[in-house]
Amino acid sequence: MTDLKTRTYQGSTLDEVLPQIRDELGDDAIVVRQREGLKGGVGGFFQKRCVEVEARPGAPTAPPAPPGSHV
């Protein structure tokens, strides 16, 4: 059985976190939620944009049936 727990990733942009998601969860990973926000700074100044992405592994697919078999 595949572990379908969601994992949270953070970075400056979605393009920054997608390779890490693919490396850890596979090319068929599913993004469950994406949030954008600001972090850091002092008194509301000098904040940096950030993105938080929740993803989980894609559902396992069954291998194709051999030719001539009936499923």
Alpha carbon distances (Å) from 45 to 2, 10, 11, 21, 48: 44, 21, 19, 31, 9
Give pTM, 2 decimals: 0.69
Q: Please determine, for residue 65, whether its predicted confidence score (pLDDT) is greater than 50.
A: yes
**Overall domain count for the chain:** 1
Q: pLDDT tens across 4-55, in order?
A: 789 999 999 999 999 999 999 999 999 999 999 988 888 878 999 999 999 9
**Domain membership flag for residue 64:** no
- How is residue 42 annotated by DSSP? B
**Domain membership flag for residue 71:** no
Structural domain boundaries, residue 30: 7-56
Alpha carbon distances (Å) from 56 to 20, 26, 31, 52: 12, 9, 7, 14
The CA distance from 70 to 63, in Å, is 14
